[in-house]
Amino acid sequence: MIRFTIDGQQVEVPEGTTVLRAADQAGIYIPRLCDHPSLTPYGGCRLCIVEVEGIPTLQTSCTLQARDGMVVYTNTPKVREAREFVLTMLFSERNHFCMYCQESGGDCELQSAAYGEDMTHWPIQPNWHPYPVDASHPDFVLDHNRCVLCRRCVRACAELVGNFTLNVRDRGSKTMIIADLDVPLGESSCINCGTCVQICPTGAFIDRHSAYLGLDAEVEQTPSVCVGCSVGCGIEIATRDNHLVRVDGDWEAPVNDGLLCEVGRYQPVRDERKRIVTPLIRKDGSLQEATWDEALNLVAEKLKSLAGRGSDGIAALASTRLPAEALYFFQQLFAEGLGSEMATSTDGHAARSVIVNGQAGSLEALKTADCVIVLGEDLVKDHQVAGFFVKRALPQGTRLIVIDSGENALHELANYSLRPRPETIRDLVAGILAASKGSDPSQPDVATTSQRTGVDADTIQAVAQVIALAQNPVFVCGAGAAEAAEELAKLATSFEIPVIGLGGGANSFAAAKYGLDKAFTVNGQQAAYLALGDDNPAQDLAQQLANVPFVAVQASYVSPVTDIADVVLPVEIWAELEGHYVNLEGRVQEARRALTPPAGVRSNTEVLQALAQRLGIALDGNWLAELGLETVVA
C-alpha cells in the first residue's frame, strides 16, 4: 500500500493507483475530460493537472502514479490558474456555442468543468472556422465543432469494443476524429454499438434518438438488464413522462462493464412495431376487441378440452425474452398441468448447448484469456458484447481460433481459421483432442480427421499445440457447436479449460433448466399457445401454425402470428416488465419496470396465472430453486 497526502488529507491506495483515482477514492474531485474509469490513462486534455511538492512543473494526475510520501495539492492558485488556461484553450480551439448544444446545462463535462472554475466567459475568441458535421450515420451525428480531441471515443472503440473504426488524422491544429480511411461514419466499418456516443464528454456525438429530449437530470434512470441475448448486459433505461428516451450501458454492471451493442442500445428506440393494447378474439373471420374475461375463458375452455392429450393435444411455445418467473409458470401450466408433449421455448435446441460439464463458464474468463477458441458462433453478429471482449484482446497477442463451417466474420480476424465440412465439427474437435494427446488408439488420428473434415492436417496439429501451450485458454461455443458438445467436454476437461456456452435468447439458460429445450414442431396438435411477449416471431412460425385449428397468442406487438391467431392476449414489453433473467453464466439478474404499461395490458405471469386459475391448476414452487443453480450469482 502507498501512503501519501492530497490537500492535507492522508490517503492509502494500492500500488499502481494514479493520483486522480486516489483523489476520487478520498472524495476529492479533480476536473478531467479525457480520463474515464473504463479506459487506460491518456493525459491528453491536461485539465487534471495538480501541484506536487518537489516537482517544479504541474503534473497530470490521471497519468501520475501515487508514490509513498507524495504531497499533492489540487486547488492551489497556480493549479486553478493553469486549469482555467487549459479550459480557455479548449473552448477557443473549436466552436463551442453552448446555447445550441443538446448537452449543455449539466450533461456536458466541458461546460461543467468551466462552471466549476467559476468561468463566465473565455478571453480568447472561438475558432470561427467552421468544422464539418458528419450526419451520415443512422443513429448519431458527429459534430467536429464541439470535439475537444480527448480521444475517449477512439480509445473506447479500440480498447473496449475492439472495433478500431475511430482514430485521429493529421496532427496539431489539423487533428480530426476519423473513421477508417477518413470516410463518413455511415459508410465506415462502424457496428452501431454507440459506445462513443455514451463516453463522449461533450456534445460532439449527438444521439439522433434522444438529443434534446431531456438532460440527465430531467430523465428517470432505471437500472435493468438487456433482454436482447443471453449475455445479459446491465443497462440504464432513461425515460421521461413514460416515454423511452435512451438506453445506456451501466458502467457498474459486472457482465458488460458499460458496453452495449446495437441490439441493446438502438433496436429498442428504433422499434416501430404496432402495439396491441386490448385482448382480441376472432369473430366472423376478423380479430375484434374483447374483455380479458371473454378472452381468457375462451382460451381456458379450449385448453381444458385438450388437456392430457398427447400428440393431438396442445403445442406450446414460449419466447426466451420472457422473465424466468413466466417461463417457470409456462412450464408448470403446459408441460405438467396440461400434459403437453410439445411445450418448449423459442431457442429450443440452441438452449441445450449452453451447459457443458454441467457448469456454466464465466465471461470474466474472456477478459484474461490468451487463447480463445470460438466454435459455431459469429460473435460479430450475435452475442456481440462477448465478441467485443474477444476482438479487443487481439492486439495484445491473444490467439483466436475459429471453428465454423458457415459464414463467420471472425474468420477474418482469426490466427487459425478452421472451416470443416458441414456437420463435421464433432470430428474436428475429436481430432484436435487426439492431436493434443499424442497417440491415443481410441481416438481417430489426425490424418483421418483431416480427410473427413477437409481441414489441413498441419493446421490441426498447430491448433492443438497452441491450445496445449496457452496459459488461459477459453472455449466459446454457440449453437453451431451443439453436435460437438460431448467431444468438447472431453477436450475441456483434459486441459481444464472453461467453456462459455452462448445459448440464444435472454433467458435460454433458464428455459433449458426448466426443460423447455425441444425444437418446436407442430404435428397434428389441435391447439397452439404461443407466449411471445415482445419477441419477433420466427419467419416460418405463422406458416407452421397454418393448419392448427385454434391458436392463442400472448404477445405485445402485431406480427404475422397474431394475424392468424384466434385469441390475442396483450402483454407487457421488456421495459414494462418486472422479473428475473438468467444469463449464459447462470447469473440471475433483475429486470426492473421503467415504463408503466398501457391500461388493458397485463404482465406475462399474470396472464399465465389467470389461465391456470381457470383451469384449476395450482402454480406453486419456486422458480429460483427450480433453476437448480448450485451458487446463485446475483
Partner 1 sequence: MPETLERVPMRDPLTDPEQKRIIDEILERNKNIPGATMVVLNELQSRIGYISPAMQAYVAQKLRIPLSELYGVLSFYSFFTMTPRGRHTVKFCMGTACYVAGAPQLIEKAQQILGIRLGETTPDWSITIEECRCVGACSQAPVVMIDDDIYGRVRPNKLPQLLRKYQRQ
Can you give the binding site for partner 1, defined by CB under 8 A?
A: 158, 164-171, 178-183, 187, 189
- Residues in Cβ contact with 589 at an 8 Å cutoff, skipping those fewer than 6 apart: 225, 232, 234, 255, 580, 581, 582, 583, 634
Q: Whole-angstrom Cα distance, residue 403 to residue 558?
A: 38
Smallest distance from partner 1 to CB 153, Å: 12
- Is 182 or 301 the residue whose CB approaches partner 1 more closely? 182
Smallest distance from partner 1 to CB 178, Å: 6
Angle between helices 425-437 and 446-453 (to 10 degrees): 160
- Residues in Cβ contact with 508 at an 8 Å cutoff, skipping those fewer than 6 apart: 230, 320, 345, 347, 350, 351, 354, 584
Smallest distance from partner 1 to CB 150, Å: 16
Degrees, nearest 5: CA angle 348-352-355: 155
Around Cβ 465, how many Cβ atoms within 10 Å? 13
Compute CA 435 distance to the chain's CA centroid, rounded to the nearest angstrom: 36
Smallest distance from partner 1 to CB 396, Å: 12
Q: Whole-angstrom Cα distance, residue 546 to residue 298?
A: 20
Most distant CA atoms of the chain, gap in Å: 89
Q: Is 539 helix (H, G, I), strand (E, B) or coil?
A: coil
- Is 181 or 217 the residue whose CB approaches partner 1 more closely? 181
Smallest distance from partner 1 to CB 168, Å: 5
Q: Whole-angstrom Cα distance, residue 568 to residue 192?
A: 34
Q: Are 413 and 398 in contact (CB under 8 A)?
A: no
- Residues in Cβ contact with 174 at an 8 Å cutoff, skipping those fewer than 6 apart: none
Degrees, nearest 5: CA angle 622-628-630: 125
What value does the CA radius of gyration of the chain take, rounded to a whole number of Å?
Answer: 28
- Is 414 or 528 the residue whose CB approaches partner 1 more closely? 414
- Is 130 or 395 the residue whose CB approaches partner 1 more closely? 395
Q: Is 403 helix (H, G, I), strand (E, B) or coil?
A: strand
SS3 content of the chain, % helix, strand, coil (to 5): 30, 20, 50
- Is 78 or 169 the residue whose CB approaches partner 1 more closely? 169
- Is 165 or 230 the residue whose CB approaches partner 1 more closely? 165
Smallest distance from partner 1 to CB 473, Å: 20
- Is 187 or 312 the residue whose CB approaches partner 1 more closely? 187
Q: Is 106 helix (H, G, I), strand (E, B) or coil?
A: coil
- Residues in Cβ contact with 272 at an 8 Å cutoff, skipping those fewer than 6 apart: none
Smallest distance from partner 1 to CB 175, Å: 9
Smallest distance from partner 1 to CB 529, Å: 48
Q: Which residue has the cell 458535421?
A: 133
Smallest distance from partner 1 to CB 181, Å: 5
Smallest distance from partner 1 to CB 165, Å: 6
Smallest distance from partner 1 to CB 161, Å: 12
Q: Are 605 and 561 in contact (CB under 8 A)?
A: no
Compute CA 397 distance to the chain's CA centroid, rounded to the nearest angstrom: 24
Smallest distance from partner 1 to CB 384, Å: 18
Smallest distance from partner 1 to CB 432, Å: 24
- Is 4 or 388 the residue whose CB approaches partner 1 more closely? 388
Counting DSSP H helices and E strands in the chain, the numbers are: 21, 27
Smallest distance from partner 1 to CB 454, Å: 24
- Is 196 or 611 the residue whose CB approaches partner 1 more closely? 196
- Is 178 or 425 the residue whose CB approaches partner 1 more closely? 178
- Is 167 or 448 the residue whose CB approaches partner 1 more closely? 167
Q: Are 142 and 177 in contact (CB under 8 A)?
A: yes
- Is 408 or 603 the residue whose CB approaches partner 1 more closely? 408
β-strands 280-283, 286-289 pairing = antiparallel
**Cell, residue 177:** 476524429
**What does each C-alpha distance from 90 to 85, 96, 149, 574 come to in angstroms?**
9, 9, 9, 42
- Residues in Cβ contact with 104 at an 8 Å cutoff, skipping those fewer than 6 apart: 98, 111, 203
SS3 for 223-277, per residue?
EEECCCCCCCCEEEEEEECCEEEEEEECCCCCCCCCCCCHHHHCHHHHCCCCECC
**Cell, residue 205:** 456525438
- Is 108 or 413 the residue whose CB approaches partner 1 more closely? 413
Smallest distance from partner 1 to CB 428, Å: 25
Closest to 454 (Cα-Cα) out of 419, 484, 481:
419
Q: Is 172 helix (H, G, I), strand (E, B) or coil?
A: helix
- Is 112 or 415 the residue whose CB approaches partner 1 more closely? 415
- Is 166 or 342 the residue whose CB approaches partner 1 more closely? 166
Closest to 331 (Cα-Cα) out of 352, 320, 316, 346:
316
Smallest distance from partner 1 to CB 402, Å: 15
- Is 26 or 176 the residue whose CB approaches partner 1 more closely? 176
